Structure 1
Amino acid sequence: MQLEWMKTAKSLAEDPVEGYDPDAVTVSEVFEIAAPARVVWSILTDLENYSAWNPFCIRAEGKIELGHAVVMTLINYAVPGTLFPNCEFISSIVPERQISWDLPNDPAWPYPARRDQIIEPTGEASCRYFSTDAFLGTNGIHVFRFAGPWVKRAFDDTGRALKARAEMLYAQEQKA
């Protein structure tokens, strides 16, 4: 299940600031969705409506264009009952297949990461979805050990909600 960018990413030895460590990656469950990839894609790229379905990212603003910021309000799974702001930048767009955003390294927050959301068509009216979060650089393994379990839970919750939303919207589309 290794993503293409991971195959070509610089290793920690080559780039200790933003290098890739395969031991510092969180992977969600894989969700089989009874809806076409285009329906799932339309939900993932409709940032304005994340609050209608996403239990982890309750607000998202931005443009789905390479390099553009996505400003999010996230549920803090590490401290229940709290929220936290997050800003990441669109780094990959493959329509109906993949959307990715990066948290770049910053001296004030030296914890770079990359999130990939993958859609794999499995038929005309079905697809598979999963997401990953690669915690990068020499701090990545420490962030993974702290945040990996709750990030996985958040991604699994998001995947379940995405599946339910996509299947509901596709069923409504079929009735129309």
Structure 2
Amino acid sequence: MATLPPNVEKGVFFVHVTREIDAPVDKAWDVLTDLSKYHEWNPFVRSMTIVNASKEEDADQTLAEGKYLLMKCHIPPTMDDSARNQAPLELVKVVDGVNHRLSWVNVDYPSFALRAERWQTLTAAGDGKSKYETWEVFNGVLAYFVKFFMEKSLRRSFDGFADGLKAQSERS
């Protein structure tokens, strides 16, 4: 599995968001990787479930490389669970608790049609703070349609994710 993010310059388009979080990296990492609590704070990804390739829930819900994620996403973001969900299937590429890096890639489509690779990192920002950074690079023929029809909403969704992570990590 690749351990470096894709070159954003080579994508059809990308979404990139950063936030400074007034909490240590380890605390923010714990929030980011605790999939069972996404519904409490995340208006973009309302839930994430570890599944097999057939989208059947796995008994072991431990986030790990090579596992699949089924996400319930709200685009645009909302905490209202009556809203229509999108449910992409993702393959986890990187779960690096030492360097605080997390990555997955969409596997719903052949890569020539649509490849969406997401990376998230947390780094120390001094004085007990951390910096969250996330980006997703879109490629393939369908990426042009996603860009045209969904780019603005995706950017709002990524902002909602980052704002929620910040707020949840900063809670005492």
Using structure 2 for the length normalisation, give the TM-score. Answer: 0.78
**1:147 shift after superposition:** 2.0
Question: Contact between 2:12 and 2:143, CA under 8 Å: does it hold in 1?
Answer: no
Stretch moving more, 129-138 or 148-157: 129-138
Which SS does the other structure have where 1:92 is aligned?
strand
Partner of 1:5: 5
2: distance between equivalents of 1:161 and 1:121?
A: 19
Q: Which one of 147, 151, 155 corresponds to residue 150 of structure 2?
A: 147
CA radius of gyration, larger in: 1
Q: Which one of 153, 159, 162 corresponds to residue 159 of structure 1?
A: 162
Correspondence 1:5-154 to 2 at 5 A: 5-7=5-7, 21-28=10-17, 30-62=18-50, 63-77=62-76, 81-95=83-97, 96-104=99-107, 106-107=109-110, 110-123=113-126, 125-154=128-157
| Structure 1 segments unaligned to the other structure (5+ residues) | 10-19
Letter of the 2:67 counterpart: H
Query: CA 1:105 to 1:150, structure 2 compared with 1: closer, same or farther past 3 Å?
Result: same
Letter of the 1:65 counterpart: A
**1:73 shift after superposition:** 1.0
| Structure 2 segments unaligned to the other structure (5+ residues) | 51-61
**1:136 shift after superposition:** 1.7
Percent identity for Structure 1 against Structure 2 = 24
Question: Contact between 2:22 and 2:130, CA under 8 Å: does it hold in 1?
Answer: yes
Using structure 1 for the length normalisation, give the TM-score. Answer: 0.76
2: distance between equivalents of 1:4 and 1:150?
A: 26
**1:4 shift after superposition:** 4.0
2: distance between equivalents of 1:133 and 1:36?
A: 24
Which SS does the other structure have where 1:85 is aligned?
coil
**Superimposed CA distance per residue, residues 58-102 of structure 1 (whole angstroms, 9 cap, x where no aligned partner):** 111123111101111111329x93212121111112215210110
